[in-house]
Amino acid sequence: MRSRNVSAPGTYGKSRVASTSAVEEHNGTRWDDGSPIARAVHTAGNVARDFSVSPLARDDWIESVPLDEDGHILFFKSTNWAASALGPVETWSLGLRMHAFTVFADSRAACIYWGPEKIAIYNAHFAKLSGQVHPRLMGRSFRECFPELWADIAPRFDQAWESGIADSVSRIPLLTTRNGYPEETYFTGNFVPIRDIDGLVGGFYNSAMEVTKQVIFERRSAMLNLMNVPSGLHDGSLDTHVIPALKTNGLDITMALLYKVDEESTLGKTQLLLQSKIGVPDGHRLAAEQADLNSAVGLLPLFRQAQNEIITLPVDERFDGIEWQGCGEPSKHFSILPLSTAGRLFGFLVVGANPRRRIDFDHHDFMQNLAAKLSAIAASIVSAEETRKRAERLEKELVESEREIRYMAQNASVGMQHLSIDGNIMWANNQYYELTGHRRDQQSYALAFAEVYLEEDRPKAISAWNRLMNGEFSVSVELRLRTRTFTPPTGDPEPASILSLSNPYIEDGKVKSVMTCTTEISQLKWAESFEARKAADAREAKRQQEEIIDIISHEMRNPLSAIFQCADMIQNSLKEYKTKESTETALMDLLVSNTEHAAIILMCANHQKRIVDDVLTLSKLEYMMLSVSPRPIEPLQFVQRAVHMFATDLASHDIKLSIKAEPSLAANHVGKIMFDPSRVAQILINLLTNAIKFTRQEPKREISIQFGASLSNPRNVFSRKMNWAPGNSTSNETTVDGTEWGDGEVLYFTLSVTDTGVGMTNEEIKKLFHRFTQASSKTSIKYGGSGLGLFISKKLTEKQGGEIGVCSGPGAGSTFAFYVKGRRAPKGTGFPISTTISSSSPLATEPKFVERKPQGLDYIHVLLVEDNLVNQKVLSKQLRDAGCTVHIANHGMEALEFLRGSDAWHDKIVGFKRVDIILMDWEMPVMDGLACSQEIRKLQNDGEVIRHVKIIATTANAREEQIQRALESGIDAVMPKPFMTSDLLTKMRAMLSPTPQD
């Protein structure tokens, strides 16, 4: 071994200080060139650190150790180190002082064993693991405090000291007193050699982790895995399957009594028979060989209590004389486990608990698993015994009354057949041939019985046969016939189904033949399938009902919030005007503001009207109540009026829109056309809404509308690549009959909307035009919408004798086209000209809102996360009027980005913004409110967000389960839309007010 100077006990720390002071010299300190650390210092630019100004160099260095909440550092300081082998802390070497700082800063359980005596210095986490050794361990040697481990650990210390390489220990067993008694525990850790200032090993750094639960769980699992549940025909009793495994785990099974129910008990009595025992001497008062469950012998009264559940009780004087297994200590508790399945009692197991472990969840879980495994074994054994007895009884009866049985079998209502061991039909009754359609005169051959089954079911039949040949006593299998069909009450005929139940005839342990009973179950199988379809349809109907309720609620509540807030501002405007100086400018500002609020109310009301109209239209379409009212319409004016509704959206997103009349109008001399403008406008508005929604975020933003007329074959007007929605391609011709349509020539009004949006794949196109369905699940998240518009448009075109379709490709934009049937109007031959509406159109100008000065209310810094621009504008204005500073985020990702630049972020940037509370919408593109709130709470738990920022959800999702879901996502409170801003401010102030605990 390497030779080194070892100081006498009580001076090891001091000798290192003296040694250090003798070899250091820089700014008054000299370094010994022989030290590895000194050489490293000289190598690094020949610049040494001035340790004389370091807190570690002072005699009172111990005062620099940061205090902790547990008071452990004070305990460390109060230890009489002068009486230890390390000596007074003022004499400790610089290396030991640094390592002491490290161990107290470690968030793990850690301990330093310093010097030849391995003197312990440890942190508060290690103290909790050390149990009864703490506080005696502090300042004492490893050998003194862990004598039971010293023989195993000492060689590891020596090897690590010599090699300078860490050594690990795994699952060291320790008796730790932490709950008032010696507790069985296991630890895994390592011993890392650590250097003193001279570069030599001065001690060991030990970090430990408790693995007690893992070790005990594996030990108990290993015992349970030794208990195999028998299957099929088998030998052995309950105790031979259970007791050997229990004996392998004496620590957790300190004693055992196994009783089974005597199946031959007389009616009304439950007789228990002792099967085996562990640690219970013969003749012990608890080990009654046989007893009635209703008696008072031994533990029988407790057995009655434990018939339906496991009970655990303290050990009493009745257990005197037990030869306790495992560590030899008497158990403090015992458990009684009922062995039962499906209400049938098989027996009881009494086990003693580990005296060195608590009666906790792990113990109860172990007992539950043990009871379940034993119950399964007992059930299998009883089932095998019953099956064996039943087979023996049947065989005897067959021998005694073969003629009677054959007569009964021949005329039985179920099909019966007797098969040889090669699968040949030896005999079958009439019902079998009628059920299966098997020909009586068919030549017999091996596995002939399988001939009547469907090709795909024959492997199942052969597998069942092989199980019988391998000794399985009873095999049941459902099969379909190829020789017979079943005609259900509704639907097409299908192959008939039968249930086959087979039992082998066994002699001298060998299968001699097989008896099979066959019953038709075609009606039952059809009924099961029919009921399953009905249940699936009911679930789907319920899902759709909840979905439409959620969609309508959300789409109606969002504009309601803006309406409430605008109306509130209009209502309070007069009062506000009276409190100010009455000037013409103030009055004009008030009128302009109220006009803007009224315009917002009208816009929101129109949005709600469209939602209601959609729902009513859908309802009328479902119940065939929708009427069509034709009027003479000039096509260009019709299209321009529809486009005018979107002028603001087009301008705000800089979308160029063009309207073009097809040459077919002039070629066919079409002026005005008879059709229902409200129904056709509803289709056009839906298509324009989608075009704007999917184009507004693209680099190229263009929409073109083309319209025309066709006298026949309207599909030919459009591209051959058009994918027409499935359904009726034409409507009933009576839709354009009747006096209101006039007697003009029948024609088709054609219209298409082309955009430069994101486009769609063929798979996404197939999902269109269905109720509540969008092309992709990501569509609703990024662009919003309910998936109802295109479904209604399809129904409206069909109602008016037309079709709707789409032509699209990924990144190539989309063209939606439709046509409806109408008639040529009696008058009107004016032909349209091309026109273009772009963002520069005067129709697209957006009104400017007048901002008011704060009213001196509470100065709250608010982050408003809202994607609806109207709600965003209205609510932010009202909050600013109330004296708040408002920051805006359009979705969850922007909110997270704002937080990183706020005073709530752990690493503040220059110019950070203050945030007191977050108002969070739910349904938003990119990242919704729930996902954002969950991420904020995760960042808070990780220490990225340094304080709890209150979050109020301002959402139209107001069902109870939705509110609960929001709260579970980390939101503090929910403010359902619509709401008054004054109520919101009251809630904000209440949440931000300090509580008595604060």
Q: Which residue has the higher pLDDT, 579 or 108?
A: 108
| Exposure b/e, 558-585, CB count within 10 A at least 16 = b | bbbbbbbbbbbbbeebeeeeeeeeeeee
Query: What mean pLDDT do residues 296-319 have?
Result: 92
pLDDT band at residue 753, thresholds of 50, 70 and 90?
Answer: very high
pLDDT of residue 488 exceeding 80, the answer is yes
pLDDT at site 232: 64
Among 797, 839, 792, residue whose Cα is nearest residue 818: 797
In sequence order, what are the residues at sequence separation of 6 or more whose Cβ sits closer than 8 angstroms to the Cβ of residue 235? none
Q: 117-126, 488-497, 556-565, 701-710 — which is least confidently predicted? A: 556-565
Look over the chain and give the mean of its residue pLDDT values, rounded to a whole number. Answer: 81
pLDDT of residue 837 exceeding 70, the answer is no
Strand order in the sheet with 415-420: 425-428, 415-420, 510-520, 494-507, 475-486
pLDDT band at residue 279, thresholds of 50, 70 and 90?
Answer: very high
Q: In whole angstroms, how far apart are CA 596 and each of 32, 78, 329, 850, 969?
A: 84, 74, 86, 9, 37
pLDDT of residue 932 exceeding 90, the answer is yes
Helices 635-644 and 677-695, packing angle to 10 deg: 50
Query: What mean pLDDT do residues 806-821 have?
Result: 91
| 489, amino acid identity | P
pLDDT at site 160: 86
pLDDT of residue 398 exceeding 60, the answer is yes
- Encoded tokens for 233: 């025909």
pLDDT at site 852: 34
pLDDT at site 784: 43
pLDDT at site 894: 94
Q: Give the tens place of pLDDT for each residue, 409-419.
A: 677 778 888 88
Q: Nearest 5 degrees, angle CA 740-CA 674-CA 831?
A: 150
Please return the burial class of 943, using the count of CB atoms within 10 Å of its CB with bins 0-12, 13-18 and 19+: exposed
pLDDT at site 774: 47
pLDDT at site 372: 92
pLDDT at site 624: 55
pLDDT band at residue 172, thresholds of 50, 70 and 90?
Answer: confident
pLDDT of residue 208 exceeding 90, the answer is no
pLDDT of residue 886 exceeding 90, the answer is yes
Among 188, 200, 182, residue whose Cα is nearest residue 34: 200
pLDDT band at residue 660, thresholds of 50, 70 and 90?
Answer: very high
pLDDT at site 21: 39
Q: Evaluate whether 33 touches 42 at the Cβ level (below 8 Å).
A: yes
Percent of the chain residues past pLDDT 70, beyond the cut: 82
pLDDT band at residue 757, thresholds of 50, 70 and 90?
Answer: confident
pLDDT of residue 252 exceeding 70, the answer is yes
Query: What mean pLDDT do residues 166-173 have?
Result: 82
Q: Which residue has the tokens 């002491």?
A: 100
pLDDT at site 939: 94
pLDDT of residue 853 exceeding 70, the answer is no
Q: Does pTM surpass 0.85?
A: no
Q: Which residue has the higher pLDDT, 604 or 632?
A: 632
pLDDT at site 16: 44
Cα gap 714→736, rounded to integer Å: 16
Q: Evaluate whether 919 touches 565 at the Cβ level (below 8 Å).
A: no
What is the DSSP pairing of strand 119-122 with strand 109-114?
Answer: antiparallel
| Exposure b/e, 947-960, CB count within 10 A at least 16 = b | eebbbbbbbbbbee
Q: Which residue has the higher pLDDT, 649 or 279?
A: 279
Q: What is the DSSP track for 252-312? A: T-S-EEEEEE-TTPPTT--EEEEEEEES--TT-TT--SEEETTS-STTHHHHHHTSSS-EE
What is the DSSP pairing of strand 861-865 with strand 917-920?
Answer: parallel
Q: Give the tens place of pLDDT for each residue, 424-446.
A: 888 888 888 888 888 777 666 77
pLDDT at site 851: 35
Q: Nearest 5 degrees, angle CA 27-CA 32-CA 36?
A: 115
pLDDT at site 471: 82
pLDDT at site 938: 95
pLDDT band at residue 558, thresholds of 50, 70 and 90?
Answer: low
pLDDT band at residue 750, thresholds of 50, 70 and 90?
Answer: very high
Cα separation of the two ends of the chain: 62
pLDDT at site 865: 95
Query: What mean pLDDT do residues 724-748 have?
Result: 73
Cα gap 183→395, rounded to integer Å: 59
CA 550 to chain centroid, in Å, comes to: 22
pLDDT band at residue 140, thresholds of 50, 70 and 90?
Answer: very high
Q: Which residue has the tokens 């939602």?
A: 611
pLDDT of residue 371 exceeding 90, the answer is yes
Cα gap 202→16, rounded to integer Å: 9
Among 333, 320, 329, residue whose Cα is nearest residue 182: 329
Query: What mean pLDDT do residues 589-604 have?
Result: 77
Cα gap 478→759, rounded to integer Å: 50
pLDDT at site 682: 83
Q: Is the N-terminal amide bond of 978 cis, ω within 30° of 0?
A: yes
Strand order in the sheet with 973-976: 885-889, 861-865, 917-920, 950-955, 973-976
pLDDT of residue 902 exceeding 70, the answer is yes
pLDDT at site 23: 36
pLDDT at site 25: 39
Query: What mean pLDDT do residues 812-819 have?
Result: 92
Report the residue count for the chain.
998
Cα gap 389→162, rounded to integer Å: 72
Q: Nearest 5 degrees, angle CA 586-CA 588-CA 590?
A: 70
pLDDT band at residue 179, thresholds of 50, 70 and 90?
Answer: confident
Query: What mean pLDDT do residues 96-101 have?
Result: 92
pLDDT of residue 552 exceeding 80, the answer is no
pLDDT of residue 819 exceeding 80, the answer is yes
pLDDT at site 49: 52
pLDDT at site 940: 94
pLDDT at site 614: 65
In sequence order, what are the residues at sequence separation of 6 or more whose Cβ sits closer than 8 angstroms to the Cβ of residue 571? none
Q: Give the tens place of pLDDT for each residue, 14-51.
A: 444 433 333 343 333 333 444 554 454 444 444 445 55
Q: In whole angstroms, how far apart are CA 856 and each of 452, 852, 876, 983?
A: 91, 12, 16, 18
Among 912, 997, 931, 944, residue whose Cα is nearest residue 970: 931
